[in-house]
Chain A
Amino acid sequence: KNQVEQSPQSLIILEGKNCTLQCNYTVSPFSNLRWYKQDTGRGPVSLTIMTFSENTKSNGRYTATLDADTKQSSLHITASQLSDSASYICVVSPRNVYNQGGKLIFGQGTELSVKP
């Protein structure tokens, strides 16, 4: 069964600190993996997207890594800011997804809280 599991479920860090969020998936074969940021009461916004052949992708203070062999991805946030407080969602796209209507497999999210 295609699944995406994220850890930790929630995380509290102090402003200025770094943190790393984890994502394990069993989707196979897969086309790409993305990380979304979702502010409370808002829709998710894409942070990074990586194909199965990419190892890392950066977007400002956000760096995503992907190990296709172990089926793991991580999102590293550097020098956290209060505005980083949000839910971070790992999403995997099965290969040939276009023929499957564009379905995506969503993780349950990690709730990050950055405190001053």
Chain B
Amino acid sequence: DGGITQSPKYLFRKEGQNVTLSCEQNLNHDAMYWYRQDPGQGLRLIYYSQIVNDFQKGDIAEGYSVSREKKESFPLTVTSAQKNPTAFYLCASRRLLAGGAHTYNEQFFGPGTRLTVL
């Protein structure tokens, strides 16, 4: 899990509620990401941020919002507009390694938050 922490580990939401998932990293990484993982599917990108105060939508951003006020923190809010929020949410951060002509884009993942709608 490296230096990325996510909290809480388990989260329960009632219908119509907004909830916020925390992601913190002490790796001094510039970029941070939020993914959603559902059984039998690959990870899908929700939002990402390459620098403070800037972020972009991923492939499934509807019903989610983020902020990036600090380099170390990238919280994700699951709004009531997200119709099927029950899933495992993973946060990741990225470092960039230059390897001669090749550039690695290593992402490190946090331990995840499992969100369940009651």
Given A43-B90, A101-B50, residue A107 in contact with residue B106 (CB < 8 A): no
Question: Are A43 and B104 closer than 8 Å at their CB atoms?
Answer: no
Within 8 A of B (CB), among A6-42: 9, 31-32, 41-42
Q: Does A115 contact B (CB under 8 A)?
A: no
Given A102-B33, A102-B50, A102-B94, residue A31 in contact with residue B111 (CB < 8 A): no
- Stretch in contact with the other chain, from A45-53, A55-63, A66-74, A76-84: A45-53
Given A44-B109, A101-B56, A109-B42, residue A53 in contact with residue B102 (CB < 8 A): yes
| A106-B42 Cα distance, complex, nearest whole Å | 5
Dominant secondary structure of chain B at its interface with chain A = strand
Question: Are B102 and A102 closer than 8 Å at their CB atoms?
Answer: no
Given A102-B31, A107-B42, A108-B42, residue A43 in contact with residue B110 (CB < 8 A): yes
Question: Are B42 and A4 closer than 8 Å at their CB atoms?
Answer: yes
Q: B31 contacts which chain A residues (CB < 8 A)?
A: 101-102
Return the contact of B109 from the options A45, A97, A103, A107 (Cβ within 8 A).
Answer: A45
Q: Does B27 contact A (CB under 8 A)?
A: no
Question: Are A106 and B112 closer than 8 Å at their CB atoms?
Answer: no
| A66-B109 Cα distance, complex, nearest whole Å | 24
- By beta carbon, the residue of chain A nearest B94 is A102
Q: B45 contacts which chain A residues (CB < 8 A)?
A: 103-104
Within 8 A of A (CB), among B39-85: 40-45, 48, 50, 56, 58
Q: B15 contacts which chain A residues (CB < 8 A)?
A: none
Q: A45 contacts which chain B residues (CB < 8 A)?
A: 1, 109
Q: Does A86 contact B (CB under 8 A)?
A: no
| A50-B42 Cα distance, complex, nearest whole Å | 20
Q: Does A85 contact B (CB under 8 A)?
A: no
For residue A18, give the distance in angstroms from its CB to the closest CB of chain B.
25
- By beta carbon, the residue of chain B nearest A90 is B42
Binding site for B on A (CB under 8 A): 4, 9, 31-32, 41-46, 49, 51, 53, 89, 93, 97-98, 101-109
Question: Could you show 13 A-B contacts with beta carbons less than 8 Å apart?
Answer: A31-B104, A32-B104, A43-B90, A43-B92, A43-B111, A44-B90, A46-B106, A101-B56, A102-B31, A103-B58, A104-B45, A106-B42, A108-B40
